[in-house]
Amino acid sequence: RMFKRQMVCRRDIERFNRSFLAIYESLIPPEEEKEKQKQLLTMLEKLVNKEWPEARLFLYGSCANSFGVSKSDVDVCLAIEDGDTRKSEILLRLADILQSDNLQNVQALIRARVPIVKLMDPASGISCDICINNVLAVVNTKLLRDYAQIDVRLRQLAYIVKHWAKSRAVNETYHGTLSSYAYVLMCIHFLQQRRPAILPCLQRMEATYSVTVDGVQCAYFDQVEKLQGWGSRNRETIAELVWGFFYYWAYCHDYANTVASVRMGRTISKREKDWTRRVGNDRHLICIEDPFEVSHDLGRVVDKFSIRVLREEFERAADIMQHDSNPCGTLFQPYVP
């Protein structure tokens, strides 16, 4: 393969692997941090239950999907029977309750796209966003966490890709680039495509977990402890996979005609989803299908300017992996406008 031809010797690959693994290790949150997050959740749940005894809190996002780096904000979902009460009313009441306790910087952002209450816990220094009844996010968080259990290379690759995206300023949905969630799905999709595959497609296996949330059926094989070692026939290392990931998104992905689908474990055609033209603000210039809300394209935030930025960054990264004698140094160089 080109990579192997270009990378002059085995020693180089091993050196690159060591550097990538060191970066990966340095980004993993320490156990104490996880412990503090759990304590905060328990404390919040007590406060919430005084007002709403039936309500429950769930972690979602990077603090629960196993792709969170150290010192990330904590995303919490308040699951509550809301009857006719408006979300904004619940959020304002929640903000009141939290304010009168020891929490700082409590703010209800009720006009945001996803309305939330923000707060900071002075005891731990942890910042936290609480949304209401975003149960699909809790379920897709579980899907990501379950995929991560199958092969450690997913977690390694996703950490490197997220770290790269943050360094290169292409992890900003408000600037038309992609969310962390989208990058993790791109990594899963990529590992499903390797030959031999490194990840299976859990949604096409016999469902051992099934819930219906907001009318969306979410079902997949979640007994992932039975799948450990599933991808071990493929012996590619993290340096090879980082190269392959960027090479795929720079030079191989068919942006004009295909959609990356973790749900199907392969690419599917844009035509079959009717994602071939712009509808409203959805331009579909890079298509990443949400595994459960299949009408959601995580690439919908990307516009004709940011698609160029993104693709140039993929090419830059692929070229660095191909030619640079110290890729780790160059890959994560902060983007300076």
Which residues bind to ligand CTP, rule: CB under 6 A? 60-62, 65, 67-68, 72, 75, 137, 140-141, 179-181, 298
Q: What is residue 333's DSSP assignment?
A: P
Min dist. Cβ of residue 212 to ligand CTP (A): 17
Other Cβ atoms closer than 10 A to 217:
10
Min dist. Cβ of residue 126 to ligand CTP (A): 13
Min dist. Cβ of residue 178 to ligand CTP (A): 8
When the beta carbons of 240 and 300 are compared against ligand CTP, the nearer one is 300
Minimal CB distance to Mg ion: which residue?
61
Sheet bearing 126-132, strands edge to edge: 56-60, 74-79, 126-132, 116-121, 104-109
Residues 54-93 as x/- pattern, contact with Mg ion by CB under 5 A: -------xx-------------------------------
Other Cβ atoms closer than 10 A to 229:
9
Whole-angstrom CA distances from 128 to 76, 99, 157 are 7, 14, 26
When the beta carbons of 177 and 193 are compared against ligand CTP, the nearer one is 177
When the beta carbons of 39 and 173 are compared against ligand CTP, the nearer one is 173
When the beta carbons of 141 and 203 are compared against ligand CTP, the nearer one is 141
Asked whether 293 and 136 are in contact (CB, 8 A), the reply is yes
Asked whether 261 and 268 are in contact (CB, 8 A), the reply is yes
Residue 20 interacting entry, from Mg ion, ligand CTP, none, C-beta within 5 to 8 Å by type: none
Min dist. Cβ of residue 27 to ligand CTP (A): 10
Other Cβ atoms closer than 10 A to 232:
11
Min dist. Cβ of residue 283 to ligand CTP (A): 15
C-alpha torsion angle, residues 193, 306, 254, 316 (rounded to 10): -70
When the beta carbons of 41 and 137 are compared against ligand CTP, the nearer one is 137
Please state, in angstroms and rounded to a whole number, the distance separating the CA atoms of residues 130 and 118: 6
Residue 181 interacting entry, from ligand CTP, Mg ion, none, C-beta within 5 to 8 Å by type: ligand CTP
Chain residues that interact with Mg ion, rule: CB under 5 A: 61-62
